[in-house]
Structure formats: C-alpha cells, structure tokens
Amino acid sequence: QVQLVESGGGLVQAGGSRRLSCVASGSIINLNAMGWYRQAPGKQRELVAIVREDGSTTYADSVKGRFTISRDNAKNTVYLHMSTLKPEDTAVYYCNAVQLLRMWWGLGTQVTVSS
C-alpha cells in the first residue's frame, strides 16, 4: 500500500502562483513515476504533469511553460509549482504514483483561481 497526501491547495488570483506538495508513505519502493492530475467540475480527470524515476517529465500542453514538476526522493515528495494561473486551472488536483503495474491516488486538493 502507498499513501499519498496532497497539500497546498487554496484560492489564488489569476496570474498568481501556488505550490502543491504530495508526500508518499507506506510501501514506496519501485515508484516508477509520480505526478499530478486534475479534474474540473463536469470534466474528466486529466494529466497535468508526471516525473519519472529517471527524472524525465511530461506536461499537458495547457500547462507547459507555466507549471513545473519536481521530485525529492529523499523526502518521498513530489511538487507542482504553478505560475501564471488562469481561471481554467481551477480543479481538484490529485497526486498519482505508479508502482510497477499499480497506480495510487491521493484524495486531492482544491485549487481555485479567481479572475
């Protein structure tokens, strides 16, 4: 079992910045990738960014150049630094971890961007 706990969500004005954190605990060996997904009301959950164990990253086109994902293996933590936030970034942000053939999810943290 892997537990993921997100923090850092909240209300932010358009154009502002926010950093999300996700701490992994439990049986955390072989975490091949960690990342962030988001789900806005009435929409499907979508990939925001992932970072693999080799350090490579993938970003959704909608956040490229504005969001940065990073991973601190010593702290079992993944971060999502979000800048130049837009109202359309409003969503529940979920932490995700891939462990061999399994996926784990956090409970999510709400990010609301006001215009």
d(CA 40, CA 110): 10
The 3-state DSSP class for residue 88 equals helix
Residue with tokens 């993938």: 58
What pLDDT is recorded for position 27? Answer: 86
* Residue range 5-21: mean pLDDT, rounded: 98
Label residue 101 by pLDDT band (50, 70, 90). Answer: confident
Helix-strand-coil split of the chain, %, nearest 5: 5, 60, 35
- Going by C-beta distance under 8 Å and a sequence separation of 6 or more, which residues neighbour residue 30? 99, 100
pLDDT per residue as tens digits for the range 19-62: 999 999 998 888 889 999 999 999 999 999 999 999 999 999 99
What pLDDT is recorded for position 77? Answer: 94
- Going by C-beta distance under 8 Å and a sequence separation of 6 or more, which residues neighbour residue 36? 20, 22, 48, 49, 50, 69, 78, 80, 93, 94, 95, 96
CB 39 within 8 A of CB 23: no
